[in-house]
Structure 1
Amino acid sequence: MTVTVDGTVTSGFGRGKEFVSLEGYSRQFQGVLGYEPYPGTLNLDLSRSVDGQFERLEARRIDGWQDGDRSFGIVYCYPATIVDADESVRLHAIVPKRTDHDTSTLELISPVALRERFELSDGASISIRIESAPSETETVDSGSLSN
């Protein structure tokens, strides 16, 4: 099962770099997804809300954690592909349980800087195909688009 969404590249709040770089998340991304994400997220303003659309898809879960008196929430990760891209790059749509974004914004992570790799600037339109994560028993293949 897949969900395809259309969106426009937009600048986010600038907090993605901070969050994906935190040890509690980066260590789990490496273990669960098989890569350390580029420090930042690519944000898309979607043409329609994704509220409820991912419920049919299986996600990989990044657990919440504590650092002193600060707590960080669960993040759900879905393998994704940029539709009609000339090259394939590993990426995941991430859905944090706690976020400042509403369901009409989607964040993407990848081991590469997606803006630079695909020459994307604010206002660029792209389509993203989001899939179910494979079962936990399947191994992570660093060369595949999804894991």
Structure 2
Amino acid sequence: MVDKEQDFNELLDGIILAEENLNLEGYEEGLEVGRAQGVQEGYQLGYAQGLQLGKELAEIYAVVVAQQTQAHTEKVQRALQQLRKSIDDFPRDNNPEADIIGTVESIRNQYKRVRVLTAGKVGKFAKKVEDSGSSSVTGDKGKDLSF
């Protein structure tokens, strides 16, 4: 008769805790679905920003490589070589320890320095392309591709 009382108590506990158990199951299911959606959204956002960043770095790299074939002062050549090395050393894998934002800012600052050292002659072609693209009929500025 003791077994029947335990079964009956467990049955009552199940009835009383049914709402709590259903809430817990719903929470766990929602958490799983949310994580899956978050992973997909994060992937899409990261992919889009990665493409934009890759394009920016490729444009800078192309200018640097082209300018290294030109005659410049030793100071400018060193700055170009340092900028090229920074882009070459940019992380190309998914390393959570890498400071991508800091590295990008450093590359942008180095590029600005090269432009200042050459009185704006380096990268002048890329600047013309940006200026002509932004003077559209609507007058819209280009998208901000920075982080």
TM superposition score normalised by structure 2: 0.20
Q: Which of 1 and 2 has greater Rg? A: 2
TM superposition score normalised by structure 1: 0.20
Point out the structure with the larger strand share: 1
* Relative contact order, higher structure (CA 8 A, sep 6+): 1
